[in-house]
Amino acid sequence: MRAVVLVGGFGTRLQPLTLSTPKPMLPVGHVPIIERLVANLARSGVSDVTFALGFKPEPFIEAFPTGECAGVALHYAVEPSPLDTAGAIRFAAEAAGIDDTFVVVNGDVLTDLDVAQLVRFHRDRGAEATLHLIPVADPSSFGVVGLDADGRVERFVEKPAPGTAPSNLVNAGTYILEPSVLQRIPSGEKVSIERVTFPAIAASRGLFGMATDDYWIDTGQPELYLQANLDVLAGLRRNDRSVAVHADASVDGTAVIDHALIGPGAIVGKDAVVRRSVVLPGAVIGDRATVTDSMVMGRIGNDAVAAACVIGASGVVAAGEDVQAERRPQPIAK
């Protein structure tokens, strides 16, 4: 089975981290999101993956110089300009010569879904397209579906106004598509699969959805990116568990690391305290600094305090400064 993984977005909600590193290349539990995603596809029987690239393609190509990731053969399709999700799928599938049933995954989704199970569901129903669905407490910021008893999507509503959602089952960003879906997407045009193509397939009764309660997280927002890291540290993933401090990090013996990840090349100074945070590769946390609920790529000076902050690669909290961001990461209710 072949797959297209969408990795060409700007990742604006995760700025400033994504100013230097594209979102799918950011680490979760010290491993790039994209590598964890491809490993799960490999476990489900996918043997060949095409990255649909646009914004910052080079880091992907450099990260996998042998054209292989998690035992899967990689191909790269770089769009001349952003084509949005459907346009990118058509462009990448054509570049890869895909002409059979295939898998599509959003490059920022981490899940334990067995994709082979989704393929069986798709084939049993003779679907043109099948969505992986996840139940959530508040569906208003997602694509929400209303299903019939056989799993056929009767309605597909992108980001419904609060209180108007047809169910609590949302598009979880993994799809099985027939090649005929590509013919529905105008070539070389910017088209959204969520807003245009899926509603059209639903209208012709070819769109199905399969709900599961597998581990699932969309890492596209700061608080969810942090949560994904804490989840893999806590061992909530079926096939994975991360260590807190990478072997190539330098952490002073007096520092307190509490529910936090310290990446390779990062330095944590004397008596520093790091709680519920991700210290990314190469970041520096000064002596006696306190970092909570934060993601840090840059430098936190000696005696500084950073709470609920997202600090990019060139970001600095000066020595002795106290920065408390307004947006505090919240635990995610599913």
Task: Please list every residue from 104 through 133 that binds ligand GTP, using CB under 6 A.
Answer: 106-108
Does residue number 17 form part of the binding site for ligand GTP (CB under 6 A)?
A: no
Does residue number 79 form part of the binding site for ligand GTP (CB under 6 A)?
A: yes
Q: What are φ and ψ of residue 120, in 5° steps?
A: -60, -45
Rounded Cα distance between 334 and 331, Å, is: 10
Cis status, amide bond into 16, omega within 30 of 0: yes
Cβ proximity to ligand GTP: between 32 and 220 the closer is 220
Tell me which of 16, 59, 82, 160 binds ligand GTP, using CB under 6 A.
82
Q: How many residues bind ligand GTP (CB under 6 A)?
A: 22
Q: Which residues of 4-20 are buried (b: 16+ CB within 10 A; e: fewer)?
A: bbbbbbebeebeebbbb
CB 89, min distance to ligand GTP, A: 8
Cβ pair 142, 165 in contact under 8 A: no
Cβ proximity to ligand GTP: between 82 and 282 the closer is 82
Q: What does the block give as tokens for 321?
A: 């400064």
Task: Please list every residue from 168 through 197 that binds ligand GTP, using CB under 6 A.
Answer: none
H or E stretch at 77:
strand 72-78
Tell me which of 21, 44, 50, 85 binds ligand GTP, using CB under 6 A.
85
Task: Please list every residue from 23 through 52 that binds ligand GTP, using CB under 6 A.
Answer: 23, 52
Cβ proximity to ligand GTP: between 83 and 170 the closer is 83
- CA-closest candidate to residue 210, choices 159, 165, 147, 299: 147
H or E stretch at 202:
helix 198-203
Candidate segments 2-10, 27-35, 274-282, 295-303, binder of ligand GTP by CB under 6 A: 2-10
Candidate segments 9-17, 122-130, 305-313, 315-323, binder of ligand GTP by CB under 6 A: 9-17
